[in-house]
Chains A and B, each alone.
Chain A
Amino acid sequence: MTQQNTIQKNLLDEMGLSGLPPEEQERLLSKMTGVLLKKLFLGTMERLKDADREIFKNMMDTEANLAEVENFLRGKIENYEQILEEVAADFKEKMKKGL
């Protein structure tokens, strides 16, 4: 079993997907990830000031260096890492609701 597959299996357990047919697992994991990516992006944009949004937009448009983007966001959003982790953890809890 490759490392990725092992993690994936564990993820399936954690996200409540164990026991479902593989194609269902794949479909649901994909959907979840798609939504979470949007939430992370939105969480970032909502926390930036207008002037910083402009800079960030330019960075995206010009496909700026990722390290540069990282430095920028860390500098503009206090506790950025923690905020993102919270968004993600909250998402996971919501996914498990009712299971």
Chain B
Amino acid sequence: MDETGKIAAGRKEDKGVPYSYLDSVETKKAEGATFMNALNLPIMDRSVGADFLQGEALQKEKNRRELVKQIKEEISALVGPLKEEAKKKALRGENRDASFDKALGKLSTAFFESAGEADYPELLGKSEVLQERMLNFFRDGQSIGKLVNKTFEKIVTNAAENAIKEKGEKIGPEGSLDSSKPELPKPGESAEEKEQRIIEELKKKFGNNPVYFDEEENIYKVVFDAYDLDKKTFRVFIRYRTTSKEVKQRWSEEELELKLQNKEIHAEGSGKEKEDREAYENSKKEIIFGKFPDMVRKWKEGRVIRVKLKKANLDEIVRPTVMIKDYHDFLRGTDVNEEANKIFEDAIREIVEATKGEMANEKTPELTPEEKDKEREIARAGSQITLSRIKNWDEINAQTQQEGDEKFLQKTRELWKGFAVHGNLQRNEKTGERTLTNYADLDGKCALGLLELAGINTKDIKYVKQGYYEEGRINLDTGDRDGVVAGIEDKTAFIDHHGEQSKSDTSTAKKTYELLVSLGLLQKTEYLDNLVKFVNQIDNADYPGVEKYFENSWKTIAGLNRFCDFKTLKIFFEKDKNPDPTRDLSEGELKKYGFIYTRKGKEVKNNSERQKAIAEKASKALPEMERDGFIIQSYKYGKIGVEVNSGFDRNNPGGYVAAKAYGCNAYVIWNADSRSFFISTDRELQEEFSQGKKVRDRMWIKPMHDKGELTITLKEILNKMTDGKLTPAGKLKEYLENPEKYMKAAEAKEPTEYELGEEGDWHGEKKKEEEKLPELGREGDWHGVGKAAESGEKKKDGGELEKERKERLGKIEGELIRARKDYLEMEYKKKSSYSKLKNFFGTMFSDRRYERLGEEDQDIAYYKKEYDKKLLEHKTFLLEEAVGKGIAGEKLGEKLKTIVLEENIALEDTEVEVRVENFEGRYAGFVKESVKDMSERWEKLHWAEKTGIVVSVLGMATIAVGTGGAVAIGIGAAMLKSIIKSEKIPQFFKKTKEAAAEYYNHTLPVVELENNLKLDPRIQESNKELAWLNQRIPKAQEEEDLDRLVKRKQFLENQKELLSYINNVVSIRSYIAGKNKKEWDGIAKKPIGKLLKTGRGVKTAQNEGSLEGRISKIHDNLKNIDGFKEKLNPLNEKETVDDWVRRLARIARKGEIGRI
């Protein structure tokens, strides 16, 4: 019997198991034997056995393989769902990870489900076939293959252990290494092999390099290094995680075991090293222990779990990941290494997701059947909007469902255009005339913002009155509808929350968000959830905790909401990662979000101060209102604030919100003069009134535009709200008893906005659009300024218009600067977090999907779009202004060029600014100072001194490679200070400058043949006619007609060729001799060969002023170009310059070259 057979027999006898486990699965199951026990091999050592099996054992191995084959077939059936289609999808890349996870999960389940009954051969067979399948499945990624391999080893190990545990058996040698333990026969075993075997047995007992926590949660790793046969002691290394200190110790097995059990093994470092490491470690511990308590607990139990990263906060995530990597390194070589490896891979994947601004590793809660139905219904209604606009149904035809979905979304983005949203009525203070403003409330603005974010162009907006809508458009928040209302036959669609069924926790922004998510046009994210929730609250006058923040409302997003737009909120909630709109903003933040800004040529505009004044005034006014009886008690609503706008000075500018902060739960605004009233409560309104209508379930309104007489009385309303128990007092009582006395014809005021809770009602006064945020100006306003210049109105209005123009330009510039920075900051943050991780983790992290982050990321795309909008606005303003000043033609082209270049420079400069601001680490300050210093020094440098640097730096940019001076330039940049100081600028940049000169000598085009041809009006005419003929000829009916047309075409082509030739001759001659005919005549008849020789004898760049130099330059520029290089030398000694030029012109006319 060979050695293995003996081992197997020994085990069989020990356990009393018949040696028949390889014959059939059924027998083995019945006998409860395990392959592991029988062979006494490490579980995963599959290679062992086959190499040295012989005779009977070999036959048994063959039997085993046959069995494996059978199991493979069974497993193939088990994992059937992994079909070609899924495989293809996975290999396409974008779904690879998801497919991998899914497949792995499925396979793991299959394993564990069968593990209770299976024995090792079965598991081995399964592992082989599944592993093979998985490797094939993900064959495009080697790293994935390795991962699969490792994972399967782990799965098999676990499955085998589970199977064994269920049978009440143990794997491998157990207990202490005392002499009573039967020694396995190892004939011929060397001393080294024996030592190694004992070490292995020790590892089986304590685990591979066990990791343990002491009482103070310090972590140690023990590495079993060697066993001394003579002394019977183990040599171990103990590594202390905190200091990385490693110490060597020798202990007997008993001592070692005791120390491990009592956690008495220490390997602490000392001195500063320990101090530094501990400070570092403590900061990490704080995060690890705080953020991943489950992981710590499991570690303590000797296991590792998958890390749950809760939030997509880049800074917070990168740090822990680095730490996880650190821990992972520490766990290398331990039993949990593979598991840690898997966790690490998972963590990276999650972080990548987090960089995309999504909630990492947090499963989307399963929708209930009702919610699913609702979502389907919203999507169905939304798709009607698209379908009603499709003219040709073939446009959405597709071979597969996926392709169909993609096409549908593409069409949706394309066809959803033409929106209507309600504007606001505004009274002209002078004339009393009411006009509709071109801006929506926060709800409308955010609904439009969400559509933009989803890639829908909302440029075409029509502002309508409340309650009106626009035929053929997508009407947002216009009134009388609830949810998404659309039909295939009718292009008019609605997204609204003003229907009879509408509830108070809705808004058009919310409805729009739900719609876009259900259609797959927008990703549901935490920040958008927060943003929409906030808009919802504002739109429904639902201000949770207002009593706490009202006093400071002037420095909160919540309090300043009427000055916000979608972009401001997006920056607040997403980019700046703020979840709480009621938190106090700093002065800097108030400026950053545009609540405080400076108008060019004007004073600082401080909307925060305005709000502060309102809050302060309201805080004084409300007690006075209460004193005068305008706050009454009710059973159903608690305190009801009553604001009578007829005959009383309005003294609560804070409206309902202020009243709510004061403790009111309902608010009534009564305006008999304008025949309107408004009721708002914080709970469902239970009454019905004889006039007006219920808006959602908490408001009742008779708006000002309802011209019907006011037949209901305030007393009637208040009586109903107090269940007939109204006991008015003070001034309220006086009013209710004789309201006519207080009627005033003038100064009719209506509830501040159609709906309480929207912007005006917060402060109770009508705002003017131009007083809002800088970016909230009326559309088209600035066009007016530019056009005014054009029409000469400037003269008419004099300095006032000029002032307005400057103000407008300042505003546009300010917006552009902000939009540019926002865009670049977002791009930087998204990209740098990815590259940071990639740099840290190397290729393991590399993934093509994230390389393209900037192009595909929805947030970056959003900010880019905002920036593009502002850029266009700025450019158009400047150009219109230029046109208005009479600039035209070439000069206008120059102006445009300057604008473009200025912006290109500004964009790059801002990118530098963003990078400097985000520079991390100890040297952030140094970098900031250096860049600032560099800018200042550069600004101050005289142009004469700058030129050398300009030439060499931009020269390098132009030539791009091979100057050999790039490093000098790089150092020059860093050492600019020293270089300027040393007055050695020319010397320093000499190398690059020379390289640039060299480059230009050889490759700079000097003659623009093609461009010159384009300028020839005769050729332009010929081209037009030829284009017409090319269309006309195939359609010619009569032969005679065809013949005439073809002849004309031939004539024109010949003429064009001739003109090309003439133009080419002129162009080349002009370069050689300019307009100096005399000079040309002097050289034209000279032999070209001789002149070329002279020209080549000197540095052409330095002799561009000479005829020879220029001829030589043409020669140099053409000498490597096909079609010319063989023909540049003179045909004979007599060939003149003129002949040569004509010859070149002839070759060039065939279109072989556009520039020389």
A-B interaction: yes
Chain A neighbourhood of B961, CB < 8 A: 82, 85, 89
Contact B993 A7 (CB under 8 A): yes
B997 in the interface (beta carbon within 8 A):
yes
Chain A neighbourhood of B996, CB < 8 A: 7, 11
**Given the known A-B contacts A36-B953, A69-B975, are A11 and B958 also in contact in the complex, defined by CB atoms under 8 Å?**
yes
Chain A neighbourhood of B934, CB < 8 A: 34, 37-38, 41
Chain B neighbourhood of A92, CB < 8 A: 954, 957-958, 960
Return B72 CB to nearest CB of chain A, in Å: 48
**Given the known A-B contacts A41-B974, A60-B974, A92-B960, are A73 and B894 also in contact in the complex, defined by CB atoms under 8 Å?**
no
A84 and B960 alpha carbons, distance in the complex (Å): 9
Return B565 CB to nearest CB of chain A, in Å: 27
A17 and B900 alpha carbons, distance in the complex (Å): 11
Contact A33 B953 (CB under 8 A): yes
Contacting B967 at CB < 8 Å: which of A4, A63, A84? Answer: A84
A24 and B923 alpha carbons, distance in the complex (Å): 36
Chain B neighbourhood of A84, CB < 8 A: 956, 966-967, 969-970
Chain B neighbourhood of A7, CB < 8 A: 951, 955, 993, 996-997, 1000
A44 and B948 alpha carbons, distance in the complex (Å): 22
**Given the known A-B contacts A16-B901, A30-B943, A99-B897, are A70 and B967 also in contact in the complex, defined by CB atoms under 8 Å?**
yes
Return A8 CB to nearest CB of chain B, in Å: 6
Chain A neighbourhood of B1052, CB < 8 A: none
Chain A neighbourhood of B1104, CB < 8 A: 1, 6
B1004 nearest in chain A by CB position: A10
Chain B neighbourhood of A74, CB < 8 A: 967
Contact B923 A40 (CB under 8 A): no
B905 in the interface (beta carbon within 8 A):
yes
B 77-97 contacts with A by CB, 8 A: none
**Given the known A-B contacts A10-B1004, A81-B966, are A42 and B909 also in contact in the complex, defined by CB atoms under 8 Å?**
no
Contact B967 A36 (CB under 8 A): no
**Given the known A-B contacts A70-B967, A80-B967, are A85 and B960 also in contact in the complex, defined by CB atoms under 8 Å?**
yes
> Contact flags (1/0) for A25-37 with B, using CB distance below 8 Å?
0101111111111
Max chain A C-beta neighbours (<10 A), residue from B900, B905, B955: B905
Chain B neighbourhood of A98, CB < 8 A: 900, 903-904
Chain B neighbourhood of A42, CB < 8 A: 912, 915-916, 919, 927, 931
Return B637 CB to nearest CB of chain A, in Å: 61
**Given the known A-B contacts A20-B898, A89-B960, A99-B900, are A94 and B973 also in contact in the complex, defined by CB atoms under 8 Å?**
no
A27 and B960 alpha carbons, distance in the complex (Å): 23
A78 in the interface (beta carbon within 8 A):
no
**Given the known A-B contacts A10-B1000, A42-B927, A91-B908, are A36 and B954 also in contact in the complex, defined by CB atoms under 8 Å?**
yes
Max chain B C-beta neighbours (<10 A), residue from A3, A16, A24, A92: A3
Contact B970 A44 (CB under 8 A): yes
Max chain A C-beta neighbours (<10 A), residue from B923, B930, B974, B993: B974
**B331-339, B455-463, B976-984 - interface stretch:** B976-984
A50 and B948 alpha carbons, distance in the complex (Å): 32
B986 nearest in chain A by CB position: A4
A31 and B969 alpha carbons, distance in the complex (Å): 16
Contact A45 B923 (CB under 8 A): yes
Contact B897 A16 (CB under 8 A): yes
Max chain A C-beta neighbours (<10 A), residue from B911, B982, B1000: B1000
Chain A neighbourhood of B970, CB < 8 A: 40-41, 43-44, 73, 80, 84
Contact B946 A85 (CB under 8 A): no
Chain A neighbourhood of B988, CB < 8 A: 66
Contacting A15 at CB < 8 Å: which of B926, B931, B958, B1101? Answer: B958
Contact B923 A95 (CB under 8 A): no
Contact B905 A28 (CB under 8 A): yes
Contact A4 B943 (CB under 8 A): no
Return A6 CB to nearest CB of chain B, in Å: 6
Q: How many residues of A contact B (CB 8 A)?
A: 64
Chain B neighbourhood of A29, CB < 8 A: 950, 954
> Contact flags (1/0) for A54-69 with B, using CB distance below 8 Å?
1011001001001001
Contact B912 A17 (CB under 8 A): no
Contacting B912 at CB < 8 Å: which of A6, A30, A38, A99? Answer: A38
Q: How many residues of B contact A (CB 8 A)?
A: 72
Chain A neighbourhood of B188, CB < 8 A: none
Contact B993 A4 (CB under 8 A): yes
**Given the known A-B contacts A4-B947, A20-B898, A94-B908, are A33 and B954 also in contact in the complex, defined by CB atoms under 8 Å?**
yes
B902 in the interface (beta carbon within 8 A):
yes
**Given the known A-B contacts A42-B927, A44-B974, A56-B974, are A36 and B897 also in contact in the complex, defined by CB atoms under 8 Å?**
no
B 471-527 contacts with A by CB, 8 A: none
Chain A neighbourhood of B972, CB < 8 A: 37
Return A98 CB to nearest CB of chain B, in Å: 5
Chain A neighbourhood of B939, CB < 8 A: 34
B948 nearest in chain A by CB position: A4
Contact B927 A45 (CB under 8 A): yes
**Given the known A-B contacts A57-B923, A88-B960, are A11 and B954 also in contact in the complex, defined by CB atoms under 8 Å?**
yes
Max chain A C-beta neighbours (<10 A), residue from B904, B921, B997: B904
B 1100-1155 contacts with A by CB, 8 A: 1101-1102, 1104-1105
Return A87 CB to nearest CB of chain B, in Å: 8
Chain B neighbourhood of A28, CB < 8 A: 898, 901-902, 905
Contacting A34 at CB < 8 Å: which of B938, B958, B960? Answer: B938
A35 and B951 alpha carbons, distance in the complex (Å): 14
A8 and B971 alpha carbons, distance in the complex (Å): 22
A37 and B979 alpha carbons, distance in the complex (Å): 13
Contact A46 B915 (CB under 8 A): yes
Chain B neighbourhood of A50, CB < 8 A: 921-923
B 881-902 contacts with A by CB, 8 A: 890, 893-894, 897-898, 900-902
Contacting B898 at CB < 8 Å: which of A24, A70, A82? Answer: A24
A46 and B978 alpha carbons, distance in the complex (Å): 21
Contact B969 A88 (CB under 8 A): yes
Max chain A C-beta neighbours (<10 A), residue from B948, B963, B971: B971
A38 and B528 alpha carbons, distance in the complex (Å): 37
Contact A41 B966 (CB under 8 A): no
Contact A88 B956 (CB under 8 A): yes
Chain B neighbourhood of A53, CB < 8 A: 921-923, 926
A34 nearest in chain B by CB position: B938
A3 nearest in chain B by CB position: B997
Return B975 CB to nearest CB of chain A, in Å: 6
B962 nearest in chain A by CB position: A85
Contact A36 B931 (CB under 8 A): no
B907 in the interface (beta carbon within 8 A):
yes
**Given the known A-B contacts A10-B1004, A37-B934, A57-B926, are A85 and B963 also in contact in the complex, defined by CB atoms under 8 Å?**
yes
A88 and B344 alpha carbons, distance in the complex (Å): 38
B935 in the interface (beta carbon within 8 A):
yes
B968 in the interface (beta carbon within 8 A):
yes
A96 and B903 alpha carbons, distance in the complex (Å): 11
Contacting B973 at CB < 8 Å: which of A11, A24, A41, A81? Answer: A41
A44 and B973 alpha carbons, distance in the complex (Å): 9
Contact B901 A4 (CB under 8 A): no
Q: List 30 A-B pairs, Cβ < 8 Å.
A: A4-B993, A8-B950, A8-B951, A10-B1000, A11-B958, A15-B958, A20-B897, A20-B898, A21-B894, A26-B943, A31-B905, A33-B949, A33-B953, A35-B908, A35-B909, A35-B912, A38-B934, A41-B931, A42-B915, A45-B923, A45-B927, A60-B930, A63-B975, A66-B971, A80-B966, A80-B967, A85-B966, A88-B966, A92-B957, A98-B903
Please list the 5 inter-chain residue pairs (A to B) with the smallest Cβ-Cβ separation, ordered nearest first.
A89-B960, A88-B957, A40-B973, A92-B957, A84-B966
Chain B residues at the A interface, C-beta cutoff of 8 Å: 890, 893-894, 897-898, 900-905, 907-909, 911-912, 915-916, 919, 921-923, 926-927, 930-931, 934-935, 938-939, 943, 946-951, 953-958, 960-961, 963-964, 966-978, 981-982, 988, 993, 996-997, 1000, 1004, 1101-1102, 1104-1105
Chain A residues at the B interface, C-beta cutoff of 8 Å: 1, 3-4, 6-8, 10-11, 13-17, 19-21, 24, 26, 28-46, 50, 53-54, 56-57, 60, 63, 66, 69-70, 73-74, 80-82, 84-85, 88-89, 91-92, 94-99
